[in-house]
Amino acid sequence: MKVFNDAATQVQCDSIAKWKKDGKPVVGYTCSYTPAEIFYAADILPVRLRGIETDGMEIGDTYFGPFICSFPKCILQLAGKGKFSFLDGTIITPGCDSMRRLDECWRKAGDDFEGSVPDYFYYFDVPHKAENHGLAWYIEEVNKLIMSVEKHFNVSITNEKLSTAIKEFNKGRRLLSEIENLRSKDDVVVSGTDVFAATVAGTVMPRDEYIKELEKWLVTLKNRRKPLSENKHRVMLVGSISDEIALFELIENTGKALIVGENLCFGIRFEGNEIKEDGDPIAALAQHYLASSVCPRMFGKYNERLAILKEKIETSKAQGVIMQNIRFCDLHGAENALFERDLEAMGIPCLRVEREYGPHIDAGRMKIRINAFLERIDASTTTVIKTKAAEKAC
pLDDT given at position 131: 86
Architecture, CATH, for domain 15-153: 3-Layer(aba) Sandwich (3.40)
Same fold? 15-153, 230-393: yes
Q: Where are the alpha helices (DSSP H) in the chain?
A: 2-9, 14-21, 37-40, 58-64, 70-80, 97-112, 133-153, 159-183, 192-201, 207-222, 245-252, 281-286, 302-316, 330-345, 363-393
pLDDT given at position 6: 95
What does the domain layout of the chain look like in residue ranges? 15-153, 230-393
The whole-angstrom separation of Cα 207 and Cα 221 is 21
The whole-angstrom separation of Cα 39 and Cα 148 is 12
pLDDT given at position 361: 65
Phi, psi (deg, nearest 5) at residue 61: -65, -35
**Residue pLDDT, tens place only, 196-232:** 999 999 999 999 999 999 999 999 999 999 999 899 9
| Rg of the chain (C-alpha set) | 21
Q: Is-contact 351 323, C-beta < 8 A? A: yes
Q: Is 362 exposed, middle or buried (0-12, 13-18, 19+ CB in 10 A)?
A: middle
pLDDT given at position 271: 64
The whole-angstrom separation of Cα 279 and Cα 284 is 8
pLDDT given at position 268: 77
Q: Is-contact 267 199, C-beta < 8 A? A: yes
Which pTM value belongs to this model? 0.93
**Residue pLDDT, tens place only, 45-101:** 999 999 999 988 999 999 998 889 999 999 999 999 999 999 999 999 999 999 999
Q: Which residues of the chain have pLDDT under 50?
A: 385-386
Contacts of 34 (CB under 8 A, 6+ apart): 46, 91, 93, 124, 289
Write down the CATH number for the domain with range 230-393.
3.40.50.11900
